[in-house]
Structure 1
Amino acid sequence: MAKIGIYGSSFDPITNVHLWTASTIAHRCQLDKVIFLPCSHKRRDKTMQTTDEHRWEMVQLAIQDHDKFIADDYEMQQQPWNVTSYETLRHFKEIYKGDEIYFIMGADLLVDIGAGKWGQAESLIRENKFIVMAREGINMLQAISQSALLRNYDDGNTFHLIDKGLSMSISSRYIREEFSMGGEPRYLLPEACYYYIKEHSLYTSLHDKSE
């Protein structure tokens, strides 16, 4: 039985922090695979700064030399009303029957789920397992204990909390801003992605409110 992590994000663009985070989680949690799952531009809660095609190409460039990393465009292919974490995880559990599937997310998203801000939140928590990364200013144990939904499904296996050494401040937004202002973020993202962005003149003009 394999252990597989589902790592969803805008990846707009994918950064070295994304790769470092995925690699660290794979090592600490003994994952056999990490699936990079770029979200669709159709998501109503996010505003992308470049196209699905460009983000998909950059993810593939970024992970091409890592044997545990694979990319999947499942969410990019869905209609917006089908793009929920619950439906996504159900999809991958059908594909990887008999394997253990973990949803990788930040502690800020755990707080949002606990507050009932996600669709199908109870089914999502009841039927799945999560690897939760620390975020500055969030006490993960307290977040679980203060939410009736989270604490009542916390059986010791539902949440794998990673609370040390996974908090870094360089974001995709920071990199986009550097490109738009003529900065030099070359060593903050994979070399192939840096040159891809330069070649296609991405992020040169932004109206940026996303992460």
Structure 2
Amino acid sequence: MRIGIFGGSFNPIHNAHIYIAKYILHKLQLDKVIVVPVGKASHKNLKMVDSKLRFEMCEKAFENEKNIVVSNIEVRTEKTSYTIDTLKKLISIYGGHNEFYEIIGEDSANNLTTWKNYENILKLSKIVVFRRGHYKNIIQHKNIIYLNTPIYEISSTMIREKIKNNEDVSNYLPQDVLKIIKAYNLYK
């Protein structure tokens, strides 16, 4: 099987995340994309909504996608989440005979050499980089695939700011995700 791994804070998950997961699933003819909301992030000092709520929002966002699943592999632990550790766990679950594709944005690719054991990530998987529009393809490697994906002018930061300012965000999020945000009064 060809398995994509799409990790992120998803704080909150939004339409661009959904489009990217679907685009890469079809573009690379993957059998499955596993969406992995981060538990305790190693690289961000950002105040995130509780991991269980972010997991629930991701589940709602992809509930009708049969080839996209959401994993709680990181949110169910209190330990700091590192891509290499999650990749190894998923390889042990799905089997090393499968092909794994880590899906990241250009912003993350720009900092890839600072990731824990990034060389091993490149040995165990291919890294698929989607465009964010602000970065140059810095690192080159035979296992890095730069895709000419559409650039979406949506970010979780922008959505959080709009919610804080009581602006309408209904065009940026699935309705079920927006219901969770409103029910728990998130990002206010």
When residues 180 and 21 of structure 1 are mapped into structure 2, their CA distance, relative to the original with a 3 A threshold, is same
Contact 1:38/1:56 (8 A) holds in 2: yes
Q: How many residues are aligned here?
A: 186
Q: 1:61 Cα deviation (Å)?
A: 0.9
Aligned amino acid, residue 179 of structure 2:
Y
Could you tell me how far 1:44 is from its partner in structure 2? 4.1
> What's the counterpart of residue 161 of structure 1?
146
Contact 1:131 1:159 in 2 (8 A): yes
The match for 1:181 among 145, 162, 165 is: 165
* Corresponding residue to 2:123 among 126, 131, 136: 126
Paired letter, 2:139: I
Aligned to 1:65: 64
Residue 181 of structure 2 corresponds to which residue in structure 1?
197
Match of 2:135 in 1: 138
Q: Which structure 2 residue ranges, 5 or more long, are not aligned?
A: none
- 1:16-71 CA distance string (max 9 Å, x none): 1100111111111111111110001x324322331112111111111111111100
Aligned residues: CA RMSD: 1.6
Please give the alpha-carbon distance, in whole angstroms, between the structure 2 residues aligned to 1:32 and 1:51.
30
Work out the CA distance in 1 between the residues paired with 2:136 and 2:164.
35
Larger radius of gyration: 1
Distance in 2 between the 1:137 and 1:50 partners? 26
Asked whether the 8 Å contact 1:5–1:103 carries over to 2, the reply is yes
Contact 1:12–1:48 (8 Å) recurs in 2:
no
Which residue does 1:112 correspond to in 2?
111
Displacement after TM superposition at 1:136 (Å): 1.6
Distance in 1 separating the partners of 2:180 and 2:118 = 38
TM-score by length of 1: 0.82
- Give the share of equivalent positions with the same residue, in percent: 29
Find the aligned partners of 2:185 and 2:22 in 1 and give their Cα distance.
29
- Answering whether residue 85 of structure 2 is matched by residue 87 of structure 1, we say yes
Worse-matched range after superposition: 119-128 or 57-66? 119-128
Indicate the structure with greater helix content.
1
Give the direction of change, closer, same or farther, for the CA distance of 1:58–1:164 in structure 2 (3 Å limit): closer
* Matched letter for residue 51 of structure 2: D
Q: TM-score, normalised by structure 2?
A: 0.91
Deviations 1:71-119 (A, max 9, x none): 00111123435x2111111111111112211100112222212xx3111
Runs of 4+ in 1 over 6 A off after TM superposition: none
